[in-house]
Amino acid sequence: MAKRDYYEVLGLSKGASAEEIKKAYRKKAKELHPDRNKDNPQAEDQFKEANEAYDCLKDAEKKAAYDRFGHAAFEGGMGGGRRPGAGGQGDFASAFSDVFDDLFGDFMGGRQPGGRQRATRGSDLRYNLRVTLEESYQGLQKTIKVPTAVQCNVCHGTGAEGGAEPVTCPTCSGMGKVRAQQGFFTVERTCPTCSGLGQIIKNPCSACGGQGRVERERQLSVNIPAGVETGTRIRLGGEGEAGMRGGPSGDLYIFIEVAKHDIFEREGTNLFCRVPVSMTSAALGGDIEVPTIDGGRSRVKIPEGSQAGRQMRLRGKGMPALRGGGHGDMFIELAVETPVNLTHRQKELLREFEELSAENNPESEGFFKSVKNFWDSMKG
C-alpha cells in the first residue's frame, strides 16, 4: 500500500512553516492517541503515521529532501538518511519530547541557549522590626543585623576553586532535566547530578563548598519614614539572600510593628488619650494640661457639667500620614473619677450635696422616669 503524503497526514499544504507543522502535529496527537480511541482499531496505526510524518517534517534537512524527492528520499539509500518511521515507538518519544519542551519548557524552568541554565536567584528575606509610637511619629534611621547568605569572596560567587568556570553536567548535557520513557510518554524530572542547574563544579571552592555563597550576618542601615504603622512593609531591593553561583540577590522585606503606648491609642492617623478628671472639675469646669505625641503640652478647657466619655479634639496633633498629606487629630476623652477612701466628714458632705442636688442630674431623672413608665406598662 502506497504511503500517504506526510503533509496530507498532518492536514497541511506543502511548504508549511515549522510552527504550522508543530501545531498540526499537536492537534493530531491529541485526536489519534490510542488511549483516547480504544474503540477504533485503526487509531494506533494512524497515530504512528502522524508521528512518522512529524519526525520527518520537523527536521529541516529531512524536510528539504522530502519536499524534493518525496518518500523516495529515504528509500534505497538516497540522501543517506534512515527511514523516518523506523524504530516506531522510539521515534514517537523523540517527536513528542520536542512538543513537550514547547508546551511546558518555559513553565518548568526552561533551558537557555546552548543548554546552560540561568543562575539561580537568591531567596527573599523577611525582617520583623518593632518601633515605638514616638519613632513612628518622627521617623528614624535604624541599623539592623540580618543573618543571610552573601556572595563568597574567595570564588567570587562561581563556587569553583580559583574562580574556574563550571562545566556542563554530563548526565543531562546541560539541560538540568533528565527524561525517562514510559510507553508513549516521556517523563521529565530534575537531574540528580546537578540538581537542575545544568552545570557541575569539578573542584568546589573550599570556603563555600561549591555554593558560591556563605552564611553571614549583615548590618544594614534602614530608613523608617514617619507615619509607619503596624503592617507597613518596606522593600529593600537586592538586599536579600545572594543567588547560587553568581545569581542575582533576592529582596529584603521589613515588616513594621508599632509597640503599644502607655498614654496614646492610635487609629490610623488619629490619636486618642483618655484623661481622668475629678468629679468636681467635671461639674465646675476648668483647664487641664495634656501631653502630645511630639513631646509637647496642650491646655484643654473642660466645659462646666461635662459627663464621662465626653471627647474634645486637638486638630493636627495626631500622627503624620505615611506619604504626606498632613497630620491627623488628637482626641481627649474625659474619664470622670469617683473618689475613694472618703473620710466620715467627706461622706457627710456628699450626702448633704446629694440632697441639695436632686434636681441637677437631668440624665438620672430622665432614666428613672423611663423606668417608672416601663414598670407601669408591665402592670397594665
Binding residues: 152, 155, 169, 172, 191, 194, 205, 208
Cα Rg, the chain, nearest whole Å: 41
For cell 539592623, what's the residue?
144
Are 139 and 224 in contact by the 8 Å Cβ rule? The answer is: yes
Query: By C-alpha distance, which of 147, 3, 11 is closest to 66?
Result: 3
Contacts of 1 (CB under 8 A, 6+ apart): none
Are 271 and 293 in contact by the 8 Å Cβ rule? The answer is: yes
Instruction: Say how many CA atoms lie within 13 Å of 119 toward its Cβ.
Output: 19
> What is the end-to-end Cα distance of the chain in Å, rounded?
108
Query: By C-alpha distance, which of 300, 301, 298, 307 is closest to 335?
Result: 307
Q: Which residues face 257 on adjacent strands?
A: 130
CA distances from 234 to 129, 139, 150 (A): 10, 13, 21
d(CA 195, CA 177): 9
Strands (E), 52-139: 125-131
Buried b (16+ CB within 10 A) or exposed e, 155-194: bebbbbbeeeebebbeebebbbbbbeeeebbbebeebeeb
In the annotated binding site for Zn(2+), the residues are 152, 155, 169, 172, 191, 194, 205, 208
User: What is the helix, strand, coil percentage profile of the chain, to 5?
Assistant: 30, 25, 40
d(CA 357, CA 156): 87
Phi, psi of 158 (to 5 degrees): -80, -25
Strand 330-337 and strand 270-278: pairing? parallel
- 149: helix, strand or coil: strand
d(CA 355, CA 358): 6
